[in-house]
């Protein structure tokens, strides 16, 4: 099988980051982390670039930027910058056909997000269509034309800016008293397409061997674990276990252990172990290991303590990362059938890591 990385063009995240200065002095025991600041722009069909800004009720304009979390580029935060403070940018709960995109102040104040043309016209920026977990974000002209929204690095690397929804419920969460429908994130562009809707989940041994990843019930039966692409959108694929004719979510659970347990959760709250199976039949734990920002590494762990990466592999040989993704600052991300969940698990485009 020939494996192809589903990734984005040219980005390694290894260029020297631009410094973001804050008024607060860092704690003496904590090393300050540089952040690379990416611009957020609307792209016209002619190749023009429009600034995307936040506006208050008096029409004052504030920057909107994309930031990695602790150097991780899998899913960048989109923030409005007001008086040196970073304000969350979210899709709000609405009954409108197009979903409003707004910045939210610490006191719950709502700021409009607009794309600004050269003649001063202010175009609405809204969510316009959802496929699976991903919602398109577009600037909308008076004629109803849609302009894509992108995050652009100082070196010219390009990310998509999308709405990201993790929950089935209409209300994804709340920020400073404001209900929101979806997060807004900068995520790698998908440069390859695949008609494959079900991808295999495998652990990759350093020798190149591929280990099956399975969900195990109390009788020891091995059940398939797969990545599911909804509507052929590959930005954020669900990871599911197929047990007893049912499709069960796979999550990281809250735990005080050094490594974070990864389990499938039944409709009645039953917990199923997730294991990588060696050729000899040995069952290796699959757990969350360490994080950069809101992304947690997912690894199979050998009895010698070796860590094997976990990937989603399509029938046609495409390859994506499988990671834990945490959207909230609270330890409890959500409850799933009565079980406390620490992080979601998704298949996402691969991002090249910087050399240390």
pLDDT digits 0-9 by tens, 313-334: 988 788 899 999 999 889 999 9
What residue segments make up the domains of the chain, in order of their start? Answer: 10-188, 198-348
> In the chain, pLDDT over 70 holds for what percent of residues?
87
pLDDT digits 0-9 by tens, 14-56: 333 333 333 333 333 334 444 689 999 999 988 899 999 999 9
166: confidence class by pLDDT, cuts 50, 70, 90: very high
Question: Which pLDDT score is estimated for 195?
Answer: 65
DSSP at 272: E
193: confidence class by pLDDT, cuts 50, 70, 90: low
pLDDT digits 0-9 by tens, 230-255: 876 788 999 999 999 999 999 999 99
136 vs 328, residue with greater confidence: 136
CA distance 132 to 240: 14
> In the chain, pLDDT over 90 holds for what percent of residues?
71
Range ranked top by mean pLDDT from 72-76, 131-135, 178-182, 326-330: 178-182
For 117-232, where are the E strands, in sequence order? Answer: 122-131, 134-140, 146-152, 158-164, 173-175, 178-188, 198-204, 210-216, 222-230
CA distance 46 to 276: 49
CA distance 159 to 21: 24
**3-state secondary structure (DSSP) of residue 338:** coil
Beta 198-204 vs 85-92: how paired, if at all?
A: unpaired
Question: Which pLDDT score is estimated for 192?
Answer: 60
Predicted TM-score (pTM) of the model is 0.78
Burial call 79-116: b when 16+ CB within 10 Å, e when fewer: bbbbeeebbbbbbbbeeeebbbbbbbbeeeeebbbbbb
Question: Which pLDDT score is estimated for 3?
Answer: 55
CA distance 327 to 187: 14
Question: Which pLDDT score is estimated for 31?
Answer: 40
268 has a pLDDT exceeding 70: yes
271: confidence class by pLDDT, cuts 50, 70, 90: very high
């Amino acid at each position: 099988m020939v494996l192809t990385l589903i990734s984005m063009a040219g980005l390694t995240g290894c260029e020297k980051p631009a410094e973001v200065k804050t008024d607060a002095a860092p704690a003496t025991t904590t090393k300050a982390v540089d952040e690379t600041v990416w611009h957020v722009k609307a792209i016209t069909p002619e190749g023009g670039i429009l600034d995307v800004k936040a506006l208050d009720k008096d029409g004052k304009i504030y920057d909107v930027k994309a930031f990695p979390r602790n150097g991780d580029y899998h899913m960048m935060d989109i923030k409005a910058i007001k008086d040196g403070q970073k304000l969350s940018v979210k899709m709000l709960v609405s009954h409108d056909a197009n979903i409003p995109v707004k910045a939210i102040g610490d006191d719950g104040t709502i700021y409009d997000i607009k794309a600004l043309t050269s003649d001063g016209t202010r175009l609405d920026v809204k969510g316009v269509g959802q496929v699976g977990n991903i919602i398109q974000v577009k600037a909308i002209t008076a004629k109803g034309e849609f302009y894509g929204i992108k995050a652009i690095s100082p070196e010219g690397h390009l990310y998509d800016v999308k709405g990201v929804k993790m929950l089935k419920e209409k209300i994804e969460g709340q920020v400073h008293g404001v209900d929101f429908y979806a997060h807004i994130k900068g995520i790698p562009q998908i440069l390859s397409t695949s008609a494959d809707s079900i991808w295999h989940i495998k652990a990759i041994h350093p020798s190149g061997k591929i280990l099956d990843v399975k969900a195990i019930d109390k009788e020891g039966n091995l059940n398939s674990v797969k990545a599911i692409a909804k509507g052929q959108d590959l930005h954020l694929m669900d990871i599911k276990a197929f047990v007893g004719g049912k499709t069960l979510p796979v999550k990281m659970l809250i735990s005080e252990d050094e490594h974070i347990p990864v389990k499938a959760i039944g409709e009645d709250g039953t917990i199923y172990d997730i294991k990588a199976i060696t050729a000899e039949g040995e069952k290796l734990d699959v757990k969350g290991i360490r994080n950069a920002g809101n992304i947690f590494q997912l690894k199979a762990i050998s009895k010698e303590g070796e860590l094997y990466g976990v990937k989603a592999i399509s029938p046609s040989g495409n390859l994506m990362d499988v990671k834990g993704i945490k959207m909230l600052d609270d330890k409890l991300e959500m409850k799933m059938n009565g079980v406390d969940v620490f992080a979601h698990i998704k298949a996402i485009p691969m991002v090249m890591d910087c050399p240390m």
